[in-house]
Structure 1
Amino acid sequence: MSQSPTETQGDNLGLQSYRQGWKALNRLLHENKSFSGRETNNAFLNCGKNTPFADVSSTIGWDFADDARAIGLIDYDHDGDLDIFVTNRTAPRVRLLKNNLKSESNFLSLHLTGSAKSTPRDAIGARVEVHLKGQLVPHLRTIHAGQSFLAQSSRWLHFGLGKDAIIEKVVVHWPGSKSQTFTGIKTEQQLHLIQGVTTVTHRKTRRDSVLMPAPQPIPEKTSVARIIPPAGHTFPTIPTADGQFLSISETTLISLWSRACPHCQQELQTWATQAAKLKTSNVTLALLCADQEHHDQANAYLKSINSPFATRMAGPEAVELLDALHASIIDLWIPIPVPTSFLVSKEGQLLAIYRGPASIEQIINDTKFATTTSEKRRSAGSPFAGRWTSKPLPSTPQRTAQQLLQRAKPELAIDYLRSALTKPFLKGEKFTQSDNLLLLGQILGQQGRPTEAMPHLEAASKLLPKDIRVLRLLATANAETGNFSKSFTILNDAISYHPQNLDIYDDAIGIALKAKDPAQALYYRKKSADNNPGNPILRYRLVLSQLERGQPVDAIANCKTILGTSPKFLEAANLLSRILSTHPKEKVRSPQESLALATRLCLISKNRNANHLLSLAYAQANLSKFEEATKNLKLLINVAPPDSKFRKEVEAALVKTKANQPIRNVIWR
């Protein structure tokens, strides 16, 4: 994983690498890989000076095969030693490891309370020294706001003092205030120390409930599952190998099967004997055979087992769609197994997924999810009983569409989203609705279909008029259809809502250049610099654009603005020196100021920066100091890489100085 970047916007390589790293990690997790590599937890014992640590994981019962994340230390049972809470990414999410080791050593536990005036009441940052008789170095502890990854240990400071320890004094260094000394404290105590109060208070004992190890039943691992998706998930239109589409006009069970699968054979034989139950319950069975063979062979097999059902053949596109749907619901990117069946309402809403054989009774019972509440659907889909603390979230077609995009199937994603957006059961607040429309518009735009994208993006904009994602895509779509004036209007609105978002300015400048409107591009460069005064790079880019547009006076003023707020931005100082010495217009040039700047730059870089030395040579030539300029240019020739742009620039300058001519940058106007 790459180091976290300091910027969140832009297209720099570091940011791209960081995002790519997270994408790779996300894929591994969705392929059911583990962060920890399924290693057991480890505990190492400090064996003392010049002795290696000893692995005592199994000895102390620490070697759980958990995907552990964090630990928190606490004297949970108040017996003078530290117990440990461990949190895991997967079940069991929390473990309490009680310390039952016997010890004859002494301890001291302290809880600090600040005055809430000079020191925070929770005393974060306070440092405590426990001085023992006969020891020169005190025991030290500091109260931290966080002590482990995603964890906070108890704020009780625990001191292990060894055997027969005698405490001489306790010194508390309160943050933002004077230190305080407490005396008369003995070992084997748990005490409250309050800032400004000289006496100590003993901790009140509490009656703890008896802790019993909770049973950890591990269900037998199986690939068979019944999955109840969130309410409102659209089932895609499925093509068959013969170029037709599955028609759904009543509750339908779509089953993907193979003749080579014994579980499929068993399930089909069972369904054949109970076909009447399906018919009575108004459930249609649509079989899709995944085998690469003619449908006559598959139907011949069904006839051989006396099945009243016929099958159609599932081509690669059908399997891809069902696989994407399956992956988006279970949130694991693993191949769809056979048999897998999908229960779909007559309106096209996905009601259930069955991985492996499913009973007719279960299928018929699950048809009720077409009309039941979202709360009941969620409870039915959970493998555990319990109390929910939040409302169920509605389904969104975005996950299935994203799965199709991951598989480089944008046309299937477009068709799926278009179908989903027409369904009456698709619910969601305006943010979800806008995101659905946004994704469809984004995919259409990426496929070079901006005209089709605009209605969806405009609908999203009505729901969330200030959403920067929608505004950027809408501006781009208008620009790609040639409506630059509307594009600029949208961009100006976006800037007014989000003046510090750099991506908007990048879009605006790119669209202005596409419209062959350099003045508009310069306007957005200036706007980005003015609205982000703390970013000198933006103003530096403005300077370069102003030089190209023949605005040297403004460019000089902006260089000086940069150096006023960011004096260490040496590129701006170097550019300013070049402008003042090489600009074609005499009224722009300032020979002495240019020389002073270039000399200062060379002092800062100790004559080790070739660009600074070149600026010095330009300034010297502008003051007719041709011999000094030639001398510096010859030094640069010796270090300039062959055939490089820099070397060619130095050689051109050298021709001028040898002819006793100053250097002028003819590109600038």
Structure 2
Amino acid sequence: MIRMIKEGKSFSGNERNCVFLNTSHPRFANVSSAVGLDFKDDGRGMAVLDWDQDGDLDMWLRNRSGPRLRLLLNRTDSLLPRNQWVYFRLQGTSCNRDAIGARVEVHLKDPRQGRLVQTLHAGDGYLSQSSKWMHFGLGTDAEIDHVTVRWPAGKTETFGDIQPQRRYLLIQDSGEPVESPVSERQLSLVESDQPKPQYSETSSSSLPDPFPLPVLRYTKFDDPAPREIKTNSRPLLVNFWASWCLPCLGELQDFTERQQEIRAAGLDVLAITVDGISIDHDTTPANAQQLINRLEFPFDTGVATSELIDKVALITEIHFYRRSSFDLPFSMLLDAEGRLLSIYRGVVEIDALLEDLDQLSSASPLEMMNLSVPMPGRWYDEISTDLREIAGSFRGRYNEDFVRYVKGATKQIAKIRELTLPEHEQKRLQKLHADLYVSLAKTAWETGDADQVIEQYRNALTIRPNYARVHYNLAVALAGRRQVELAAEHYRQAIKSDPKIAEAHNNLGMILVATGSVDEGVTHFRQAISLDSEFGRAYFNLGRALRLQGNFSEAGDQFRAALQVNPGYYQAHFWLGMIQQGQGDDQAAAESFDRVLSIEPEHEMAHRMLATLRYRQGKYAVSVNHFRQLTKVVPDDVEVLNALAWLLATQPQLDPSDRQEAVQLAQRAIELAEQLDPSLLDTLAAAYASTQRFEDAITTARRAWTLAETRGDAQFAERIGDRVKLYERGQSYRETAAGGSDK
């Protein structure tokens, strides 16, 4: 029922018993009030029987609310003394003993009176079973001719010599009714006193267990900095009010006039205005401050924030299973430790408040529970606040409070686990305890607190050392902190506890390959794939490991397998292209790199590889395009700038108008270079020559020649010298063979 209420399903909680009269017309008449059944009870069950054995039927009512039981005695015998009756109890011999399902027919001597028919049922209402004595009302002056019983087995039996105003036992296959005398009851019922509840405009709800509050913050009239509501080791009444709320103003006046009594009781008051929050009113905190000053209010004051109102509404939702409107005035009584004791809706009556404070401040757990309900009774179990459940209400909204409640829940469960419990219950609580730390770790992960992630996963493992998923998650966190040795150890522990975690095999394999244990890494990748044939990353990682082993053919197969699982896996396309290029299939490699760029247009290495491949194939314009894309991806890459400048300056098939760009690119490369290189000067010289700046070309080329000679690169110096001779003749350098650059 509570779960249904929490889900927002309808539940009136005030389902009165109803009596409907058959009027022989299409509609029934509700006569509940007329017959005296219109109690303010939340009805559940009803049983009918002749409790006082006077021949008429009485009624027991079972309620969810108090009184739990009502006995209604039928007193119509004094009004209709001539009415007759007869009772039957059935006993089966070849059918079920209680003859459930039997049909009884009472045949009267006067044919105009017809026959009376009833069927015996087991359970004749919701959660109810009436007496198995079958009652037949006969009216006045009725004479019984005979009674027939159709037993559950199908056989019909007739019983005669039956008189009104008697009780009979009808035994199957006997043919003779047995008169049953009235038994004397030994049970004496005492009518209970049912005081009517006292209604008030103020609703006061004491909690059965002091409730630890979330962090509640408010501001001051003259200071917008948020501050936390604290009790300072004294009980505190937190009162919410507004300047537009007339009952609130009267309440503040009462607090002011009776301040001495309130302080003498050891109670502090914090009056927090909601002015400025409600969209239905255009008042501001300034309006509230004026009223506070005019009243000379003697207690502390503050201004509510939207977060504070939301958290208070969440608190009421937790305790009353639904979020209601935030009606004013509204107050919360906190104990000296800052725990919630009671909630007040409406104007707080000072005398009732001080009485609550006196009772609740010193109440035992059982007394707290008794004070939380409006009627006396017995408790079957002690009520305690389930902090784990409460934490769930704050997760994702207020993680600070979520963490606070979960930490409290870990202490709760730790105390319970100290008790002597059955083994299966201890195992359940052990997992629950560990999972609380896991939830703390996940929250820390969401907020980027890596240290807390590691700490909380380790806490979980102290509770449940063989928790495979926690070992795995801790390994992931440690790997993220580059603590690869510890990460590998926890991956191994995860696999030991649960060998079927494919991700653990894959991630351990990655660490092993990175640390040089390629063969062992391959083993774990293959194990991951055997556990999950759709594990694309494992195929990919296996392919890279096989490539390191020199097994290029199978490496290519694994990259293809990864792409079968995920055609958009651009890393697999790239490394497949690298394998294809290494095998001499430039065209297939170029197609793989093109697929990379169709998925990830700014992939640097794919552009580099395609720029080189297309250059070798003599597709210079395509090569230039990839180099230009690279200048956008890595604008300060000296190697890219130099290669593009050389291509624009020396390839006759390209647009001559791009040669000035070659000069600019070569100059930019030299500016960015940390150390001057003869290759860069050689490119700039070629660019100058391509734009007919031969003097600059000769000067720059000679500098390149000198630098190459100084570095002992005689072959390169010789090639530069040949180009100097071209420039001296007023000719620029042009490459002629596809891919034939001497750079």
Q: TM-score, normalised by structure 2?
A: 0.51
**Are residues 1:34 and 2:9 paired?**
no
| Equivalent residue, structure 1, for 2:86 | 108
| Matched position secondary structure for 1:390 | coil
Query: Which of residues 378, 400, 405 is equivalent to 1:417?
Result: 405
C-alpha separation between the residues in 1 aligned to 2:407 and 2:190? 54
Partner of residue 508, structure 1: none
Contact 1:414 1:440 in 2 (8 A): no
- Equivalent residue, structure 1, for 2:592: none
Structure 2 gaps, min length 5: 220-224, 277-282, 418-425, 480-489, 501-524, 534-563, 566-743
CA displacement, residues 274-332 of structure 1 (integer Å, 9 cap, x when unaligned): 43444455433333222227655534422321222231211011111122223333445
SS at match of 1:376: helix
CA contact (8 A) 2:437 2:460 kept: no
State the shift of 1:144 in Å: 2.9
Aligned residue in 2 for 1:366: 357
- The question of whether the paired residues in 2 share the 8 Å contact of 1:227 and 1:381 is answered with yes
Counterpart of 1:171 (choices 146, 149, 169) is 149
2:325 is aligned to 335
User: 1:435, 1:460 within 8 Å by CA — same for their partners in 2?
Assistant: no
User: Which amino acid counterpart does residue 34 of structure 1 have in structure 2?
Assistant: S
Tell me the number of residue pairs that the alignment of Structure 1 and Structure 2 aligns. 469
The change in CA–CA distance for 1:240 and 1:465 in structure 2 (over 3 A counts) is: same
Q: Which has the higher helix share?
A: 2
Question: Contact 1:397–1:436 at 8 Å: present in 2 too?
Answer: no
Q: Which range moved further: 482-491 or 147-156?
A: 482-491
CA-to-aligned-CA distance 1:138-177 (integer Å, 9 cap, x gap): 75544433211222222222234566241424436266x9
Q: Give the match's secondary structure for 1:266.
A: helix
1:317 match: secondary structure: helix
* Counterpart Cα distance in 1 of 2:196 and 2:492: 64
How far apart, CA to CA, are the structure 2 residues paired with 1:475 and 1:347?
Answer: 38
* Counterpart check, 1:44 vs 2:21: yes
Q: Does 1:233 align with 2:202?
A: no
How do residues 369-384 of structure 1 correspond to structure 2 at under 5 angstroms?
A: 369-384=360-375
Q: Which amino acid aligns with 2:531?
A: Q
Unpaired runs of 5+ residues, structure 1, are 1-18, 494-513, 523-547, 550-669
Name which of structure 1's ranges 410-419 and 229-238 shifts more when overlaid on structure 2. Answer: 410-419
- The answer to whether the Cα contact below 8 Å between 1:396 and 1:432 also exists between their aligned partners in 2 is no
Whole-angstrom CA distance in 2 between matches of 1:351 and 1:213: 35
Closer, same or farther: CA 245–490 of 1 in aligned 2, 3 Å: farther
Give the residue type in structure 1 aligned to 2:339: Q
Does the alignment pair 1:298 with 2:288? yes
What is residue 326 of structure 1 aligned with on the other side?
316
Instruction: After superposition, give the CA deviation of every residue in 1:320-370 in whole Å (9 maximum; x if it has no partner).
Output: 112222333344532243333222233332223333314267437625634
Contact 1:139 1:159 (C-alpha < 8 Å) held by counterparts: yes
Letter in 1 for 2:370: S
> In structure 2, what is the equivalent of residue 55 of structure 1?
29
Deviations 1:460-498 (A, max 9, x none): 8998999xxxx89969967987978766777799xxxxx
Code of the residue aligned with 2:217 in structure 1: it is: P
Asked if the contact 2:468–2:495 (Cα under 8 Å) also holds between the matched residues in 1, the reply is: no
Alignment of 1:535-550 (within 5 A): none
Q: Which residue of 1 is the match for residue 53 of structure 2?
A: 78
Q: What residue identity is the alignment partner of 1:166? A: I
- Of 312-321 and 323-332, the range deviating more from structure 2: 323-332
Do the aligned residues in 1 keep the contact of 2:88 with 2:170 (CA within 8 Å)? yes
Residue identity opposite 2:234 in structure 1: T
Change (3 A) 1:473 1:324: farther
The answer to whether the 8 A contact 2:107-2:115 is kept is: yes
Matches within 5 A, 1:577-592: none
Q: What is the aligned partner in structure 2 of residue 653 from structure 1?
A: none
Task: Report the aligned-residue RMSD.
Answer: 5.2
Cα separation, partners in 2 of 1:218 and 1:182, compared to 1, 3 Å? same
How big is the shift at 1:218?
4.6
Structure 1 position 63, deviation (Å): 5.6
Deviations 1:191-223 (A, max 9, x none): 344568766241424469999998866546434
> Which residue identity does 1:224 align to in structure 2?
T
* Residue number in structure 2 paired with 1:554: none
Separation in 2, partners of 1:159, 1:372? 56
Residue 387 (structure 2) aligns with? 397
Tell whether the 8 Å contact from 2:273 to 2:303 is kept in structure 1 after alignment. Answer: yes
Separation in 2, partners of 1:462, 1:106: 78
Instruction: Name the residue aligned to 1:352.
Output: 342
Q: 1:409 is aligned with what amino acid?
A: R
Does the Cα contact within 8 Å between 2:438 and 2:460 map onto a contact in 1? no
State the match for 2:638 in structure 1: none
Cα 1:478–1:463, aligned 2, differ >3 Å: closer, same or farther?
A: closer
Kept in 1, the 8 Å contact 2:206–2:342? The answer is yes
Aligned pairs for 1:448-463 (under 5 A) are 449=446
CA shift, 1:128, in A, is 4.2
Rounded Cα–Cα distance in structure 1 between residues aligned with 2:339 and 2:458: 27
Mapped partners of 1:127, 1:141: distance in 2: 9
CA distance in structure 1 between the partners assigned to 2:53 and 2:499 by the alignment? 63
Q: For residue 269 of structure 1, what is the aligned residue in structure 2?
A: 253
Q: Contact 1:438–1:457 (CA<8 Å) still a contact in 2?
A: no
Letter of the 2:29 counterpart: D
Q: State yes or no: 1:155 paired with 2:146.
A: no
Q: Which amino acid aligns with 2:340?
A: L
Q: Distance in 2 between the 1:22 and 1:425 partners?
A: 22
Counterpart residue number, 1:258:
242
Bigger RCO (CA 8 Å, 6+ sep): 1
Distance 1:41-1:281 versus aligned 2 partners, 3 A rule: closer
Tell me if the contact between 1:288 and 1:312 (Cα under 8 Å) persists in the aligned partners: yes
- SS of the equivalent of 2:256 reads helix
* 8 Å CA contact 2:431, 2:464 repeated in 1: yes
Cα distance, 1:268 vs structure 2: 2.2
Alignment map for 1:639-650 (pairs within 5 Å): none
For 2:472 and 2:81, locate their aligned partners in 1 and report how far apart those are by CA, in whole Å. Answer: 71
Tell me the equivalent position of 2:230.
Answer: 247
Q: Note the C-alpha offset of 1:34.
A: 2.3
Counterparts of 2:234 and 2:290 in 1: how far apart (Å)? 26
Contact conserved, 1:264 with 1:357, CA < 8 A, in 2? no
CA contact (8 A) 1:111 1:192 kept: yes
Match of 1:5 in 2: none
Structure 2: how far apart are the matches of 1:312 and 1:279? Answer: 19
Shift of 1:74: 1.9
Does the 8 Å contact 2:5/2:321 carry over to 1? no
Any idea what the Cα deviations from partners look like across 1:107-128, whole Å, max 9, x if unmatched? 322234567xx6665x262514
Counterparts in 2 of 1:420-435, with a 5 A limit?
Answer: 420-421=408-409
Query: Would the aligned equivalents of 2:369 and 2:383 in 1 still touch at CA under 8 Å?
Result: no
CA distance in 1, matches of 2:215, 2:324: 22
| Structure 1 equivalent of residue 107 of structure 2 | 132
* Mapped partners of 1:35, 1:98: distance in 2: 26
What is residue 272 of structure 2 aligned with on the other side?
288
Q: Which residue of 2 aligns with 1:583?
A: none
Shift of 1:43: 0.3
Aligned-partner residue type, residue 252 of structure 1: P
